[in-house]
Amino acid sequence: MTKTVRQIPISVLFFQAQNDYDVAPSIVLHKEMVKAGKVAEVNLYPAFGSSDRDGHSFAYRGISIWEADTFRFLDAYCGAD
């Protein structure tokens, strides 16, 4: 995945709750993209719920938490030309 992420031609936003099963891939892939001169951000949010299962559901159950950050990223890097 690290080789592939260095070749991605678009901006990427990684986001997860701290208590997701494993946040390491987001951190590693973000670091690889930045090292390759790509536009990428990683947002690690506080624990969502009380279990890793709750944390894993953050993307669809925590919209009100990540929504503003995500739309800011989209406006900045994925807007219409």
Q: Tell me: the pLDDT tens digits for 15-50? A: 999 999 999 999 999 999 999 999 999 999 999 999
**Which tens digits make up the pLDDT trace of 43-80?**
999 999 999 999 999 999 999 999 999 999 999 999 76
User: What Cα–Cα distance (Å) separates residue 43 from each residue in 16, 73, 80?
Assistant: 7, 11, 23
Q: Copy the structure tokens of residue 50.
A: 């009380």
Give yes or no for residue 81 having a pLDDT over 70: no
Q: Helix-strand-coil percent breakdown of the chain, rounded to 5?
A: 50, 15, 35
Task: Provide the 3-class DSSP secondary structure of residue 46.
Answer: coil
Question: CA triplet 44, 47, 53: central angle to 5 degrees?
Answer: 105
